[in-house]
Amino acid sequence: MMVSISKIALILLVMLTMLALQLNGNERRLLSSKAQLKGSERRLLSTKSNASFFWPKVTVAITNRLTMKTLGLHCKDKHHDLGYHELKVGQTYIFAVTPKIIFKVTLYFCKFVWLHESHYFDIYVELRDGFCKDNICTWDIFARGPCKIRPTSRECFSWNKVPIEK
* Span 86-120, pLDDT tens digits: 999 999 999 998 887 767 678 999 999 999 999 99
Is residue 155 pLDDT above 80, yes or no?
yes
For the segment 23-49, the average pLDDT, to the nearest whole number, is: 41
Q: What pLDDT is stored for residue 5 in this prediction?
A: 64
β-sheet with 154-156: strand ranges across: 43-49, 92-97, 58-64, 136-142, 145-149, 154-156
* Span 53-92, pLDDT tens digits: 556 789 999 999 999 999 999 999 999 999 999 999 999 9
Neighbour-count burial of 41, counting CB atoms closer than 10 A to its CB (0-12 exposed, 13-18 middle, 19+ buried): middle
Q: What pLDDT is stored for residue 133 in this prediction?
A: 82
Is residue 28 pLDDT above 80, yes or no?
no
CATH class of the domain defined by 5-156: mainly beta
